[in-house]
Structure 1
Amino acid sequence: MLTVLQTRLIAPSLPRDFTPRERLRDSLRAALNAPVCLVCAPAGCGKTTGLADYAQENAALTAWLSLEESDNDPARFWRYTLAALERVLPGFSLDTPLTLPEMGMTVLTSGLDALCNRLLEAPPGFTLILDDLQRISNPHLLQALAYLAEHQPAHFHLALSTRVAPALPLARWRARGALSEIRVKDLNFLPDEAREFFSRGASSAVDETILRRALELSRGWAAGLRLIDFALREQSGSLSALTRGRKLAADYLTSEILQNLPPNWLDFLSAAAIDEQFTAEMAWYVSGQASENALLESILEAGLFVQTQGESWQLHPFLREALLQQLPPVEIQHMHQRAAAWYENHSQPEKAIAHALNGEEWPSAGRLILRQAGMLFERGEMGVLERWLDAFPADILSQNADLLVLRAWLQYLQGKNLDAQQTASAIESLTTDLQPQRPDWWGGLRCQLALLQEQNQAALSYANSALASASSETFIRGMLLSSRANALQALGRSEEASASYQEAISANRGAGSLLSSLFSLAGLGIELNEQGQRLRALDLCQQTLEDNQARSNHPLFGLVHLLMARLHWEANALEEMRLALETAESLLSQLGVSGFLISADLIRVQWLIACEDYGEALQRVQTNRRKTRSEAFTGFRQIFDLLRAEIALKMGERRAVDAWLEEANLPPTPADDPAREMEFIFKARCLIERGEWGDASALLEDLLFNAQNSHHIRASIAVLLLKASLLWQKGEIGRVNNCLEEALALAAPQQYVRLLLDFGAPLAGLLAQMPSAPQAIRALFGQPEETQAPTLVEMLTRRELDVLRLLAENHTNSEIAAALVLSNETVKVHLKHIFQKLGVQNRRQAVWQARQMRLI
């Protein structure tokens, strides 16, 4: 398992010759009373030592985290930050995640809010110290720190130690009085402090001349004074030691100091220098020497910039650099390889991988990475995996199919679909002997990419084959189960899809994979809706939210709210739909994943169409059509093309509808691609509108047969309504009622009102008078209870009734547009629909007919 290295959560031990400086202590105490304290100075100025002194003095109120380059991964950064807080505040934890474990690349605002709220429980004066902040360059993390600093409780303090000014809003914090700063001038030694330092370090006999000259050379720089002190101890306080010290300070502990070390010291320290933190056991192993406690004690006594934290050791960075500079590259490479072997044998795979990469031991690095990949994916630490893969030379990586599969998975999960497809093509082009050796990961990737391209039969084959050989890794197995269900759904194999979704949900929940389990739940809800079980799907959503109240703010639950918005749309419950959609958009926007955002926009377009806001709907459709084409979302692109055609039909733009019919590239029959069922239904509707009744009739029969075989009740309702409309136009009045009664029998129990509105509009008046029509349907179509309309008339929408009332008041088109906040073109479209539905030719006739029918 990936664990937290506890030594990073402990302030470094103070040097043996540590010189307390009350001036610096007072400055730090005062500075740490501000919301944010920035300790910014070059290396060697004593930032860490000063803060470590404060931390030891205030141990019960101070949490410490020493940062590393690997902490640029958001999941890792917050995992260690929470561990640092929990070390001082036992039981400290969050119910809301700070990162998305399954995706890993985003810092969540909801998690930061939860952190700020949790910190309200910390005792007054509590401080979190982040040391070596210069190692953090991830802009998402820096933005998150800025957010934390601006929303943290008043009694909480954040201390940031760094070599360079971070990309944070320092100017704004200064203007607000929220920032205190400790800079080089605060950290530099004053003459009295330097005198005290030398009296504890080299010798109390250091004369004033040497002291004054040392201050001139070092200008109070802590590391410079320490290097000079080292030289003075070597040369008994002579003036020549200043030259030695100056050289050491200028060269940042170059090899000149190392030349004075015993060979066994040098071997040990050189072996230790390949790691920022090490244990004596590791250094002995890498150096090839037998362990010797006396040597360790001698090194510590010599003050060679070695710090200890329990069993962990750490060399001063300048000492590490100097040690490594004096070694041949081949020897450094060999030591990294030995370190990789040691860490692997001691169950520290991440350390082993880092050293294997530095030692260019590519086969070992690849083997270890493949072993850790599933766990990293599940924990969301994909940034770590990405950096590991980037460390490989291009020619080496291009010949390792299994590592390329991991790279393609990373690209796919980050929404880089084209990159993932290109990587998959590179894998397929490899020779037979270089093909992937892990069929579950490779098959799972091919399944995902096939689903993106609407190659559903191929996706199912890949999923089934991969599951047959799948390992016990929960990540890949959960993804495969979800993908198989998606493929079955797209192929119209409804019952199998439902069963597969149930299996996927159970398996993913058991493995703790939230992403896959919610994906599977959303897929099951969609399938239930297609099967005419809208209310059951809605109950499934509501039960899921109730069961997960503690983490309901997790952004992935936006998928559940998105499904609920779609189900409310089916019932034409537009206000409930709006609320669910806004919640979904708020949650999913935190992730920044293209597929999620496109899904939310798709539902938003359907809501806009239901509200008859065709202009805004069309604008969103056009934006998403461009996006889905550029990002290779084939399925999404087809849906948005269809929505554009539907809007065009409602707006009376026949040319655009005809263009869709020519460009849709539908297969010969609906059975050839069940996933495009709704496109075929829209095609039948267009054929009816164009008077091509023979082709429309044949297509509707095929659609009804397929819908009944696949138990797609929604599609059956739509087809029956279109069939009734076709029969009405053909004059076969006797068969119309049968179709309408059958459609109502399917639609009414589950409240599929939207289908009645969209596909039953040509026969709305007749629908409202059907004996089997429930009161809710009758009222929706303007039919009062226990009464009949004076004539069969198509239903007027709410907006059309608004237009009609203003028309009766003799308002012009421009005045109507201004009153209803519509464009003149939209008003003309509404008037056209009103004239058609009332069977009139002009405005005067429309008003007279409406009054006769008691519509106004």
Structure 2
Amino acid sequence: MPTEPEPAAGPVFALAKIQPPRPRTGLVERPGLERSLASAFAHPLTLLLAPAGYGKTAALTRQIRQLPGGTALVWISADADDRLPRFLDCLAAALEPHDPAWRVAPEALATLALADGGVRQVANEWINALAGARAPGGLIVIDDLHRIGDPHVFELLACVIERVPSTWSFAIASRVEPPWPLARWRATGQLAELRQYDLRFGEGEVASLIAAAGGDPSHAAQLLERTEGWAAGLRLSLTARHGSAPMGVFNQRHVFDYLAAEVLDDMPAVLRTFLLRCAVLPELTVARCAQVSGSPDASRLLEEIERRGLFVSVLDADELTLRQHDLVRDFLLDRLERDHPEELPGLLCRAAVGEPDLARAVGYFTRAGAWEQAADALAKRGPLLVASGGATLPAMLATLPAAAIDARPDLLVLQGMVAFLAFDFDTTVSAMSRASTGFARAGRAADAALAKAYACIAMQNTGRVHEAAFELTRLRALPLDDASRAVIAFGSAWAAYAELRAEDVAGHFTEMVEALERVPDLQIWNLCFFHSFLAGLPNVNPLMERFADGAFRIAGEHPSHLRAGVLHARVWLALSAGRLDEAAAWMSRADEACHWLGQPCSVATENYNARILIHALLGRREASEAAAKACLDDMRHATTTSNRLTHEYEILLVQARARWIFQDVAGLRAVRAEFAAARNPLEWPAAERQARYLDALLALAEERLADALVLLGPLAEDVERWCFFPAVQARVMRADVLVRLGETEAAAASLSPWVANAVHGRELGGALLAGPAALARLAGVAWGALLPAAAVSLLRRLADLLAPHHAPAPTASALSAQATLLSDREHEVLARIAAGDSNKLIARAFDLSPHTVKRHVANILGKLGVDTRGQAAAWYRDQGSGPPHGGMPS
């Protein structure tokens, strides 16, 4: 299986898509149209609607040069391949020079859009990013919107246009009306329109065109009548050798074809051949044209095309870059297919080679029928997209015949990994199993084992626990490389957990960590990123610390699933040691990481569970319940049925444990009813014990102490067998019941096995989850000689740790509270924002990557509760310079 490529240095699409054309020389003045456009730009949306060739792009190109100084310009040239993920990539890259205040990683927007209601969430992120951008305002131009077929793009744009900040606006050119509520927008003044009638040339403008071409302006009326002011017809008439179209009534396409043929036939043969061969390219540069056409004279020929003004726009790029008008390109492609059909597949394949936009490259290969080359491109470059969420991969894979994918195990791995990140475990099992078979058939034993291991991990999440465990045992007996061994050990650790073999987890985890330490391959580490639920199991905590240290050495601070997984693990490691404030700080950092990634399914479950219980311990009932609701919604609506049936009971028990902390009897009864309804044959073996656990919590809440004592007995084990320290919690709650029943000596005996570890700072998380009421009662008992003084002191410390969070707290200054949330580095970045520095300058000042600066800016805005960089700067100036004492660690 391929190793992870280096992160891309720039966009993976053609930069020409976000480069506006330069104004052509020799354009005639059109003051009336310019006044109309200037007035229209005051509206949230300016729509230029007209058929091909009416000069929509030229009008916008001219007008953007007249924007007021300081106005940000964002230009996107739409393509037929622009599904929502790629459109969002283009948008983020086009906005980047203006320092938009993203709260989510721009590359994660496509992942966020996949969630239920995700398009509206992305719209909110876009609106907030514009509002907080360093530029005071700007214009977003989308040219050729009619090329886009993805309805989600139109849904997104409608959401943003309706609420775009007042200092920003859109100008959109299209041949057809977008599917938007245009009538309502007209009525509310949100829309300005320029249609075919507004864009056509008048007689004076036609005369100016003729004069500029060296002709007789007196022919203007005749030419205007024949072309009806159609810009394309006018220009071609003046370019054609005979200077006019045939008399008679023709539709615009016929006129264009006739005139274009005249122009093409009048060219030197070398230039004509060059144009025809390069017609497969949407943008023309010297290097790309030389590669596709095979001409060593590409530079001179491109200059000749520009000199002749053959319906091309010159883009605002460092090298000469031309974009052909759609009508011209369509005409040339038609002639190419008609006159030289045998050349077209080879030209398309040459265009695909070196194309930075993978979607375009795959499109070239598939149009050529070169399925094998398309598969090669996806196999080579697809893993980079998986690393960023893989949102664009399914559409590209869908362009290949199913047989082509089935024949390529490396493509099946891509399919499986994208499905895994979306928690579509059924598809993962199918794809990875077929990949394993294909690799084995090809003699690639290590890759076959690795794919099979991931099929097993996914299999566990579809209820097939014992089948997966059996297969993983078989895989461990094979001669393996370290990469395969690491993933198989990771899967084996989870199999042991799922089968309640808690004592076996650490052995597999050790094997995983040791193998990973011998493989400095980020992709393999990424495959093992989620394991926070294993905290507290026998001998696992030190191994999780070791994994975290290695992960940060490999991945650094770059936002990733791996980093989010490590942050979640550290939440539970801190809580296990009784460091609640530290656990909360790690949770805050994990929240930031997950939000920046777009809260994909692959990190959401860990994040929601941490928030449910940590917020509960901190007395934040509303936040805890919101996380519980989001977690259940995610489980029930964003994952497959098999995954929901396998794991829903776990989510419900975590919710019940939070309701216990709040002493919410009605809430516990409601969760118990949901738990009973969710029972099914796909559950992991722990479900039966967890049902007993929930019954014990409800019995305690209802003051049925005798029932609770019976239920808690078998649960108060010496070994933790499932997540979030339930055995210690059960032991502490059982001791509390015994105290309440007057059996203090038995309570001390119940606590003694735990006390031996607890006084050394271990196994404290479960005691905290027993809740403030139980700990307060145990701390108030006169234990005498029944417990050592250190144990009594520990119980009091734990009770004191929770008590302030579950009682009314004195009101503190909101501003100083906000200030303590910022890390020292965030204060430094905020100072630079207040000084007016751009993200690039901030990155240079602190030797940070631009990505890290964007994340710091997002954190600052979120923690201060402001929307814009300007508001953050004002807050900083109001507070004075320098970080306050008590700020969070960086």
Q: Give the conservation status (yes or no) of the 8 Å contact 2:590–2:607.
A: no
Q: Give the conservation status (yes or no) of the 8 Å contact 1:99–1:108.
A: no
User: CA 1:601 to 1:37, structure 2 compared with 1: closer, same or farther past 3 Å?
Assistant: farther
User: Which residue of 2 is the match for residue 791 of structure 1?
Assistant: none
User: CA 1:634 to 1:38, structure 2 compared with 1: closer, same or farther past 3 Å?
Assistant: farther
Q: Which amino acid aligns with 1:520?
A: V
Equivalent residue runs for 1:334-483 within 5 Å:
334-341=346-353, 343=354, 352-380=361-389, 382-430=390-438, 432-434=440-442, 438=447, 442=451, 445-446=454-455, 448-450=457-459, 452=461, 453=463, 454=465, 464=486, 476-483=523-530
User: Which residue of 2 is the match for residue 576 of structure 1?
Assistant: 620
Q: Give the conservation status (yes or no) of the 8 Å contact 2:213–2:238.
A: yes
For residues 621 and 162 of structure 1, what CA distance do their matches in structure 2 show? 56
Q: Which amino acid aligns with 2:10?
A: T
Unaligned residue ranges in structure 2 (runs of 5+): 1-7, 115-120, 477-483, 489-511, 800-805, 808-890
Which of 178-187 and 13-22 deviates more? 13-22
User: Which residue of 2 is the match for residue 325 of structure 1?
Assistant: 334
Shift of 1:81: 3.1
User: Which residue of 2 is the match for residue 69 of structure 1?
Assistant: 79
For residues 746 and 401 of structure 1, what CA distance do their matches in structure 2 show? 49
Q: Deviations over 1:530-586 (max 9, x none)?
A: xx4232x641441563799899877659765752541354x5x5x335435547978
Q: Give the conservation status (yes or no) of the 8 Å contact 1:713–1:746.
A: no
User: Which residue of 2 is the match for residue 182 of structure 1?
Assistant: 194
- SS of the counterpart of 1:307? strand
Q: Deviations over 1:187-244 (max 9, x none)?
A: 12233333433443472256366335314xxx333223334444xx32144x636678
Pairing partner for 1:542 from 582, 585, 589: 585
Pairing partner for 2:274 from 262, 268, 271: 268
User: CA 1:103 to 1:638, structure 2 compared with 1: closer, same or farther past 3 Å?
Assistant: farther
Q: Deviations over 1:13-42 (max 9, x none)?
A: 344553221111111010011222222233
Q: Give the conservation status (yes or no) of the 8 Å contact 1:405–1:442.
A: yes
User: CA 1:474 to 1:388, structure 2 compared with 1: closer, same or farther past 3 Å?
Assistant: farther
How much identity, in percent, do the aligned residues show?
A: 19
User: CA 1:590 to 1:200, structure 2 compared with 1: closer, same or farther past 3 Å?
Assistant: farther
Pairing partner for 1:282 from 288, 292, 302: 288
For residues 578 and 160 of structure 2, what CA distance do their matches in structure 1 show? 42
Q: Give the conservation status (yes or no) of the 8 Å contact 1:306–1:314.
A: yes
Q: Which amino acid aligns with 1:234?
A: R
Shift of 1:497: 4.1
Which of 499-508 and 635-644 deviates more? 635-644
For residues 191 and 548 of structure 1, what CA distance do their matches in structure 2 show? 63
Shift of 1:590: 11
Equivalent residue runs for 1:228-247 within 5 Å:
228-230=237-239, 233-237=240-244, 240=246
Q: Which amino acid aligns with 2:310?
A: L
Higher relative contact order (CA 8 A, sep 6+): 2
Q: Which amino acid aligns with 2:412?
A: L
User: Which residue of 2 is the match for residue 303 of structure 1?
Assistant: 309
Q: Give the conservation status (yes or no) of the 8 Å contact 1:685–1:722.
A: no
User: CA 1:27 to 1:195, structure 2 compared with 1: closer, same or farther past 3 Å?
Assistant: same
Q: Which amino acid aligns with 1:158?
A: F
User: Which residue of 1 is the match for residue 834 of structure 2?
Assistant: none
User: Which residue of 1 is the match for residue 562 of structure 2?
Assistant: 516
Q: Give the conservation status (yes or no) of the 8 Å contact 1:581–1:603.
A: no
User: Which residue of 1 is the match for residue 855 of structure 2?
Assistant: none
For residues 320 and 83 of structure 2, what CA distance do their matches in structure 1 show? 26
2:124 is equivalent to residue 131 of structure 1: no
For residues 725 and 557 of structure 2, what CA distance do their matches in structure 1 show? 34
Equivalent residue runs for 1:189-208 within 5 Å:
189-201=201-213, 203-204=215-216, 207=219
2:746 is equivalent to residue 738 of structure 1: no
Q: Which amino acid aligns with 2:658?
A: W
The number of residue pairs the alignment matches comes to 721
Shift of 1:512: 1.4
Pairing partner for 2:126 from 112, 128, 132: 112
Pairing partner for 2:730 from 708, 718, 735: 718
User: Which residue of 1 is the match for residue 710 of structure 2?
Assistant: 688
Q: Which amino acid aligns with 2:623?
A: L
User: Which residue of 1 is the match for residue 166 of structure 2?
Assistant: 154
For residues 587 and 206 of structure 1, what CA distance do their matches in structure 2 show? 74
For residues 42 and 562 of structure 2, what CA distance do their matches in structure 1 show? 45
For residues 656 and 150 of structure 2, what CA distance do their matches in structure 1 show? 35
User: Which residue of 1 is the match for residue 658 of structure 2?
Assistant: 607
For residues 608 and 385 of structure 1, what CA distance do their matches in structure 2 show? 41
Q: Give the conservation status (yes or no) of the 8 Å contact 1:38–1:179.
A: yes
User: Which residue of 2 is the match for residue 843 of structure 1?
Assistant: none
Unaligned residue ranges in structure 1 (runs of 5+): 655-683, 690-695, 782-796, 799-856
- SS of the counterpart of 1:240? coil
User: CA 1:25 to 1:707, structure 2 compared with 1: closer, same or farther past 3 Å?
Assistant: closer
User: CA 1:640 to 1:389, structure 2 compared with 1: closer, same or farther past 3 Å?
Assistant: farther
Equivalent residue runs for 1:587-736 within 5 Å:
594=639, 603-608=654-659, 610-611=661-662, 688=710, 704-707=717-720, 714-716=726-728, 718-719=730-731, 722=734, 735=746
Q: Which amino acid aligns with 1:539?
A: E
2:22 is equivalent to residue 13 of structure 1: yes
For residues 629 and 24 of structure 1, what CA distance do their matches in structure 2 show? 68
- SS of the counterpart of 2:717? helix
User: CA 1:188 to 1:649, structure 2 compared with 1: closer, same or farther past 3 Å?
Assistant: farther
Q: Give the conservation status (yes or no) of the 8 Å contact 2:346–2:368.
A: yes
For residues 226 and 627 of structure 1, what CA distance do their matches in structure 2 show? 70
User: CA 1:198 to 1:152, structure 2 compared with 1: closer, same or farther past 3 Å?
Assistant: same
User: Which residue of 2 is the match for residue 809 of structure 1?
Assistant: none
Shift of 1:649: 6.2
For residues 289 and 451 of structure 2, what CA distance do their matches in structure 1 show? 39
Shift of 1:181: 1.8
- SS of the counterpart of 2:65? helix
User: Which residue of 1 is the match for residue 31 of structure 2?
Assistant: 22
User: Which residue of 1 is the match for residue 5 of structure 2?
Assistant: none
Pairing partner for 1:39 from 48, 52, 55: 48
Q: Deviations over 1:99-150 (max 9, x none)?
A: 527946455466335413324x5346x3232222334454554444344434
User: CA 1:155 to 1:603, structure 2 compared with 1: closer, same or farther past 3 Å?
Assistant: same
Q: Which amino acid aligns with 2:130?
A: C
User: Which residue of 2 is the match for residue 165 of structure 1?
Assistant: 177
Q: Give the conservation status (yes or no) of the 8 Å contact 1:146–1:168.
A: yes
For residues 333 and 196 of structure 1, what CA distance do their matches in structure 2 show? 43
State the structure with more CA Rg. Answer: 1
- SS of the counterpart of 1:19? coil
Q: Give the conservation status (yes or no) of the 8 Å contact 1:720–1:742.
A: no
- What is the alpha-carbon root mean square deviation over aligned residues? 5.2
User: Which residue of 2 is the match for residue 313 of structure 1?
Assistant: 322
